[in-house]
Amino acid sequence: MKQLFYPQGIAVAGASRDPSKIGSLWAQSLISAGCKAAVYAINPAGGEIDGRPIYSSLRHTPGPVDLVISCIPREQVMSLLDDCAAKGVIAVYFYTAGFRETGKDEWAGFEHAVVERAKKGGFRIIGPNCFGVYCPEHGIPYGPFQLITAHGSAGLVCQSSGNMGKILEYGLENWVGFSKGVSIGNAADLEAGDFLEYLAADSKTRTIAMYLEGTRNPRGLFDALKMAASRKPVIVWKGGSSSAGARAASSHTGALGAEAGVWSGAVKQAGALEVGNLEELCDTLLLMDKVGPLPGGAGLGAVCGVTDGGGGEAVLISDLCAADGIDVPGLAPGAERELDDLVGRVGSVLCNPVDLSQKQRSAAVLDRVLCLLAEQGDIDMVMVYLNAGVILERFPADVIQSITQVLAGFRRRNGKPLVVVMPPGRAKCREGVHEALSMQGVPVLPGMQRAARALRNLMVYTLRRSA
């Protein structure tokens, strides 16, 4: 499995002199990303691509090839598989589509024949109908469009190429790095469970996120999921949970899924975290990556009114946290008295969440209030609700810088994690603050409802570990 992510050589079948063809884009993407593997373009017509020769056959490539990317019509793949066997490749992944997902017996049978031919040839199939392997450490970008994130510790297994791309784009925006990932499409041969086992054992992967539509081997997937979840956080989003979604999943990857309740029960029994949509998966992955499992319990301290009126924000935070079962403990009497001295009682909320609207420009007061929350034994994480539009429009640059520094340095000074919630607003106003905090390792979530759901998942995982 390691050679799939760290191959010596990669061949792209279907690359050509036409730079607009998908195979050419794929080869160019690998070259532009600085892929550490040798990259070979394959096309019977020959020619050149970016000054490199296009080989008429895989058999003619001068060096070893571990991984082959198929961007050729399905009718031509059997000949390619024979070449793969002769060359001694490890695996082929098929961007090529039109197999079981068509719903036609003829092409479902052809997919089976492809897998059998590969087994006889001594190599494996990823896909078909997928974007295949992603490994930024080895310079393997995601697909043909030069999408590559920072190298980090999050691993991905996705049955949808599009959804995997969205997760990686979220990672780019939020400074989440990835160790490796794979899009498996129809999963005719290698399945999610196979890659899950590898990522569970991979020392470079600390958290695993998965998008699944179905499996041919439910018991194998459950066993792999249970084993992986015993070692590191595993986040699972199951697509096709509704009848309409199941029809779409069948048409998309040919997946046959179990009922939603069965999936949910299995995921919970395995010890993994189930999420319900793309946003929840991304937000939960962000917190797992930047915060990790909490060292203590699951109490949340919150601060609002940092940039504008915070009374309504305090109510919003309290209600949404309560709805998701997040504990927002009250403050000790001594802390409330100090808040009275720091902030003043008029126009303020001197409980948890704390409304700082009367001292909103004071980075020193913000810092002390955050420390007060962190000093409480039943508070394990602190959250700041921040209106980026207001801070950029009304506050001087030095105040903005001071507030940002307080937030960025909080965990280093206090030992407890901090999350920033930035409600919807004008994109231009949000970007600067979001980027400044994300660069410092502070997770920024886009709205309280999404934040509450991701915080709940983090706290559920924390409580399971301590049980």
Q: Which CATH superfamily is domain 149-290 in?
A: Succinyl-CoA synthetase domains (3.40.50.261)
Give the CATH architecture of domain 300-466.
Answer: 3-Layer(aba) Sandwich (3.40)
Per-residue pLDDT, averaged over 266-286, amounts to: 95
Whole-angstrom distance, CA of residue 202 vs CA of residue 206: 8
Nearest-CA neighbor of 417 among 286, 233, 229?
Answer: 286
DSSP 387-405: -HHHHHHHS-HHHHHHHHH
| Partners of residue 212 on adjacent β-strands | 238
For residue 296, CA distances in Å to 145, 191, 335, 376, 415 come to: 42, 36, 21, 12, 12
Q: Which of 138-152, 192-206, 288-302, 366-380 has the lowest mean pLDDT?
A: 288-302
Domain positions in the chain are: 2-126, 149-290, 300-466
pLDDT of residue 254: 47
The model's confidence at residue 398, banded by pLDDT at 50, 70 and 90, is confident
Write down the mean pLDDT value for the chain: 89
The model's confidence at residue 214, banded by pLDDT at 50, 70 and 90, is confident
Residue 280 has pLDDT above 60, yes or no: yes
Burial 383-395 (b: 16+ CB within 10 A, else e): bbbbbbbbbbeeb
pLDDT of residue 249: 44
The structure's pTM equals 0.91
Please give the structure tokens belonging to residue 407.
């937030």
pLDDT digits (tens, 9 = 90+) for 10-24: 999 999 999 999 999
Q: Which fold has domain 2-126?
A: Rossmann fold (3.40.50)
pLDDT of residue 321: 92
Element (H, E) at 255: none
Residue 61 has pLDDT above 80, yes or no: yes
Residue 248 has pLDDT above 70, yes or no: no
pLDDT digits (tens, 9 = 90+) for 294-334: 876 678 999 988 766 678 888 899 999 999 999 999 988 88
How many other C-beta atoms lie within 10 A of the C-beta of residue 242?
Answer: 11
Residue 424 has pLDDT above 60, yes or no: yes
The model's confidence at residue 100, banded by pLDDT at 50, 70 and 90, is confident
Contact 165, 147 (CB under 8 A): yes
Per-residue pLDDT, averaged over 399-408, amounts to: 87
The model's confidence at residue 391, banded by pLDDT at 50, 70 and 90, is low
The model's confidence at residue 263, banded by pLDDT at 50, 70 and 90, is confident
Identical topology for domains 2-126 and 300-466:
yes
pLDDT of residue 232: 95
Whole-angstrom distance, CA of residue 9 vs CA of residue 61: 10
pLDDT of residue 256: 47
Report angle CA 425, 427, 430 to the nearest 5 degrees.
Answer: 75
The model's confidence at residue 251, banded by pLDDT at 50, 70 and 90, is very low
pLDDT of residue 426: 62
Whole-angstrom distance, CA of residue 133 vs CA of residue 181: 6
Per-residue pLDDT, averaged over 205-232, amounts to: 94
pLDDT digits (tens, 9 = 90+) for 325-358: 999 999 888 888 888 888 877 666 678 998 888 7
Q: Is 340 helix (H, G, I), strand (E, B) or coil?
A: helix
Please give the structure tokens belonging to residue 466.
């301590």
Report angle CA 256, 260, 264 to the nearest 5 degrees.
Answer: 115
pLDDT of residue 346: 65
Per-residue pLDDT, averaged over 373-385, amounts to: 92
**Number of helical H runs and strand E runs in the chain:** 17, 19
Residue 250 has pLDDT above 50, yes or no: no
Most confident of 94-98, 261-265, 287-291, 386-390: 287-291
pLDDT of residue 313: 87
Packing angle, helices 397-414 and 427-439, rounded to 10: 40
Q: Scan for tokens 């994480």, then name that residue.
A: 381
